[in-house]
Amino acid sequence: MMSAMVDPWERGNEIKTCPNSFEKFRSSKSKQDRARFSSCPVEGGVVQVGMKAVSVSRVLAGLIAALTPQQVALQNVMPADQLWTGTVDNIWAATLAGDLAEVAVLQAPQYNMDVSIGIAEMWNDTFIPTQLYFNSVPYYLIEKRSWQITNAEILGGIDGLLLGRNAMRMKNQMPELRLSQFLDMYFLATRSGEGFLPCSRLTAFSNGIRDIKEILIEQTKNFAFLLTTVATTYFTDSEIITERCVKIVEKFLRYFHEEFHVEKCPSQDSVVPRLNLIMVIDATWPFYTLLKFFVSLTNRADVNYYGSSVTAVKGDSTDVIVNSTSSPVTLYQQLLFYGQHGEDVTGLILQKSLLSVRNIIERDNKNEKALKYPRRAKQDIVVILGHSSTINDKDFEISEDILSILKKENPASRFIYLTSYTNAQRFRRLVAVPRSHLDTIITTENSQIEVVLPKLLNSLHSERILKPAYCQNNYHHWPESMYEEYITPGETISYWIHPDYLCGSLEIVKITFKNYDHGELHVCMSRDKKEQGDCKHVEASEDVTHALLRPCQKVGAPTWQWDQGCRPVYFTVSVTRSYNKCTGYECRYPDQVRFSIVVQDLHCINLNYAVCSGVGHIISPSYMFVVSILISIMVFSNR
């Protein structure tokens, strides 16, 4: 990651990786060099940000230099044979000025000032970028290793310079700011702020630094003087170096404005979901396409320790491909292991998949009950990837029974069925199952990731569910459920309580928001998702309680609508002021505000005791046992 290494040697795969430049490059080689240099060398130490490559070493160098800013006088470090004026700024030297000084000292003398500024690059794969290739580079530049400043290094230098200039200000505002948090805030675009996004780097660089040309010439020239004392070079005359640096900076600025264009920053969604995703996979995609899909989903759905988690299930069996994980690395490793050792998915047997989903959710609920510390609120979303699968009537009949039980046990779970226009009608039976108000069918004309992924991501936005802990024995009410939450300024976190947890609850249900000493909050409650409802300001170290008197009085409604007498409850939380005191491991950023949600006396879902039909009634445990056995028999008899 810290390396700025370039591997120039021929790998043998150039005819596939860079076919456009391969033949032209080979024809320009001499016979003795024909098997030596690659037509598209590999550049290391880079990461993909958006669709562009950024040199991480330049970013980190700028940040490190900014933490100990220095202005080094040339007179103190140059030979004493003449009088030197000017200083070297260590932030500029570690970023753009340092690279341009290398061009002036190492490259310019060889080409009589016909220097190379910027080298275009291309990723081997836009979805899973693992190697960055030089794109259409002349043979003589590679032969003489004239890659002192590539496009990735230009962007890395700009990012390092901008982040370096912001580092001390951010450090003063947030004394406990960690490097990982700082990079997360910038590169993952999880934070909004003035000029603090990669998409706004070019504007910030061009307009945010006064007299940029004069500063860049001065710093490039001064660092080039210093570089001549340690590098082998043809010229050491200060006037020649100064003239050379002026021309190189002018060429760099022309290249910068021609090659890099101002981007429009995407609109930031202030509503932050946290999901427990369960993906059921059919045979639509080959393994590598599936891998690309999951890598893209991981980036877009904020899969990490602080955000969402993912589980993947084979559509033709009850086998789990990816055990529940919040780590993108673990997800990738498990998928690779499946690709090397697992059997290909042959189709979609929905009844088996739903049984596996039911077992996963039940296991997760039991694990949450066993936690000795407060949990974090998430929303269970099951995605059925059934684009190319046809499901017979027998499978649908059994699947409807399993889904009905699953929905009774977990009424707030959402299902998303991704299918083709041809198969969509088959799935409409499933979204008619009771408690499927929020379930969705997504249809696409083809199965290309570029078509499927945006539609799926748009459907994933969801409030976080507040629910009672997993039922024990014959409990019908759960006295208290507690959630530990953190919110970032500028975000709005939404929560909801499903009516089934209210129906059969006690006379009064209390939801308390306990604020700690990290800042101040704004909390709203409503029974209508479109309305803001009852809002309260919560000072630091204070609590606010919303009490629901007789929260559920059913009047009767179609299964696809919320009963007007027993609607969900919605909450929104936002920050009005942060004290920048969030220092624990659970804090994603130092300015997050910590709070807890305590929900008291919700109805505890237990299939032995059904409610929400006006009056609760007992269901025989033996009946549920027989139903489960019958489902299992039907499933495995269809193998």
Question: Rounded to whole angstroms, what are the CA distances from 525 to 528, 536, 546?
Answer: 9, 9, 8
**Pairing between strand 617-618 and 609-610?**
antiparallel
Higher pLDDT, 191 or 148: 148
pLDDT beyond 60 at 608: no
Domain boundaries, the chain: 6-29+39-259, 275-462, 467-638
Q: What is the pLDDT of residues 625-635, one digit of tens each?
A: 544 554 555 44
Higher pLDDT, 391 or 100: 100
Distance CA 396, CA 389 (A): 13
Q: What is the pLDDT of residue 610?
A: 45
Q: What is the pLDDT of residue 27?
A: 59
515, containing H or E segment: strand 508-515
Most confident of 107-111, 193-197, 558-562: 107-111
Q: What is the pLDDT of residue 172?
A: 81
Q: Of 321, 357, 351, whose CA–CA distance to 336 is shortest?
A: 321
Mean pLDDT over 311-331 rounds to 92
Q: What is the pLDDT of residue 139?
A: 76
Q: Which residues pair with 314 in a beta bridge?
A: 281
Q: What is the pLDDT of residues 214-232, one digit of tens each?
A: 999 999 999 999 998 887 7
Q: What is the pLDDT of residues 428-480, one digit of tens each?
A: 889 989 888 899 999 988 889 889 999 998 898 889 999 887 665 555 556 78
Q: What is the pLDDT of residue 475?
A: 54
Where is average pLDDT lowest: 142-146, 277-281, 547-551, 621-625? 621-625
Higher pLDDT, 504 or 522: 522
**Both structure tokens of 48:** 């993909």
525, containing H or E segment: strand 519-526
Q: What is the pLDDT of residue 613?
A: 41
Q: What is the pLDDT of residue 191?
A: 56
Taking all residues of the chain, what is their mean pLDDT, rounded to a whole number? 84
Q: What is the pLDDT of residue 242?
A: 92
Higher pLDDT, 189 or 344: 344
Give, as one character, the DSSP assignment of residue 606: B
Give, as one character, the DSSP assignment of residue 103: I
Rounded-to-10 torsion of CA 432, 436, 439, 440: 20
Contacts 24+ apart (CB under 8 A), 14-23: 14/38, 14/39, 14/40, 17/124, 17/131, 17/133, 18/122, 18/133, 18/135, 20/136, 21/135, 21/136, 21/137
Q: What is the pLDDT of residue 616?
A: 39
pLDDT beyond 80 at 366: no
pLDDT beyond 50 at 194: no
Q: What is the pLDDT of residues 127-157, one digit of tens each?
A: 889 899 998 887 778 877 888 899 999 999 9
Where is average pLDDT lowest: 113-122, 294-303, 503-512? 503-512
Confidence of residue 71 (pLDDT cuts 50, 70, 90): very high
**Pairing between strand 464-465 and 414-420?**
unpaired
530 and 594 Cβ atoms separated by less than 8 Å = no
Distance CA 494, CA 472 (A): 28
Question: Rounded to whole angstroms, what are the CA distances from 100 to 75, 94, 209, 248, 253?
Answer: 22, 11, 18, 7, 11
Mean pLDDT over 404-409 rounds to 89
pLDDT beyond 60 at 623: no
The CATH number, out of the four listed (2.60.120.380, 2.40.30.10, 1.10.1270.20, 3.40.50.10300), of the domain defined by the range 467-638: 2.60.120.380
Confidence of residue 370 (pLDDT cuts 50, 70, 90): low
Distance CA 602, CA 337 (A): 42
Higher pLDDT, 190 or 350: 350
Confidence of residue 371 (pLDDT cuts 50, 70, 90): low
Mean pLDDT over 589-617 rounds to 71
Higher pLDDT, 80 or 396: 396
Q: What is the pLDDT of residue 617?
A: 39
Q: What is the pLDDT of residue 97?
A: 95
Tell the CATH superfamily of the 275-462 domain: von Willebrand factor, type A domain (3.40.50.410)
Percent of the chain with pLDDT over 90: 40
Q: What is the pLDDT of residue 439?
A: 93
Percent of the chain with pLDDT over 70: 85
Q: What is the pLDDT of residue 638?
A: 47
